[in-house]
Each structure stands twice: as structure tokens, then as C-alpha cells.
Structure 1
């Protein structure tokens, strides 16, 4: 007879996709207008995260193989961003996030000031400790 199938033999197997299929799906997905992309994904049984991941791999030159093999086989200009460009973009995004923090802090302070002005509490009552009046 054959080998014992094991306790998980009846479970579904994870699908695997060829590099050609991934590239075809990314190209096809990008061609569809925004309202029709979901229909394509449902037809193929895919999630939008698949196309996002596959597009990133394509842009990095690693779709369908290891990073080293794809990088060696692909000329530098076609691989997309250089490491330096990627680092510059990452630092730019980080700078934008950090620059947004003071604006958020200022907005929070303005809200607190408006709240304090709208409350009936006066500054004299703010220093009053109810525990001391016993």
C-alpha cells in the first residue's frame, strides 16, 4: 500500500502562483478602472494584498525568484529605485511624519484651551484640593 497520508491530509493546500501568473495578474489589475478591480480579484480568488505584494516584488526585480538571482539578472536602471533613492524616500516620509507632530500638538493645545474657556471652572478652583477641606 501507500504511505500514511497523515492527520492533515484532508485540509486544503496553500496555493502557489508562478511568476508569469503573478505578472499577468498585476498587469491586468492595473488595466482595470477602480470600480472593476474587485470583480477581477473575485474572479481569480485573489486579495488586493496579493497584487500589492506582487507589484512590489516586480518593482524590486524579485518577482518569481530570489532577490540575489533577480538582481543579478536585471540591469540596474530597470530594477526601479536604487538603495540610495529608497533611503531618501524613507527619510522624507519620516521627516513628514515628524513635521506633522508639532501641528498635532498645537491642535491638541487649542482644543484644551477652548475646553478650559468653556468650562465654568475658574483658575481659583483649579488649585483647590477637596482632600484638604476635611
Structure 2
């Protein structure tokens, strides 16, 4: 079982100490040895040097802002289901209106409708 590695955080004092040590490296290979010994990359030095030029390493290192609020993965699904429910409800209402209209038309024309639940004989003969 492996443990999850945490991201390393470097203090401003550590960064300044490494930058000073990197400036002292004059012989070929000394800088690489320093980076290997400390477990750092050249990209660390580049970004720390840029921060030092901007004056960001003079005080405490900047703290990151609050963690972003992750959107709930169910929000999209719930919205889609609500739209589907609204469409289905509207369809059912239209169908109920059509059924009521058919009942009224059959009453006006004097046609007998089969009781609900009974199969329509005229439909079974046509098949």
C-alpha cells in the first residue's frame, strides 16, 4: 500500500537560502549537484529568481486563496430531469384535453364510447 505524497511547500527563507547558494556555484556541475542534493529542479530556481526580482520573496510567501467550490455533479442531471418532467407534464395535459374533446365530440355525434379498460372492438377488427 503506497501513501499519497504531499506537495512540498518552500518557505521564503528556504528559497532565499537556495538562491544565495546557487549564486555561489561557479564551477561546472556545482549547480546541478546543489539541485540534486536539495531535490529541486531548474524550474524552481527560474521561478524563484523571477519572484525575487519582483520583490515577492522579501516577506512571507504568498498564501493561496480559498479552495474553489466544485460544482455538484448532480446539478446538470437534476436540471435535465426537471426539463424532462416539465415536458412530460405538458404532454400529459395536452393529451387529457384531447381525450376530453374526443368525449365531447362522441356525445355530440351520438357515438357510444367503450368503457375505460375495455378494448375497442372496432380497433381489433381492423388489424
Answer yes or no: same fold by TM over 0.5.
no
TM-score by length of 1: 0.40
Larger Rg: 2
TM-score by length of 2: 0.42
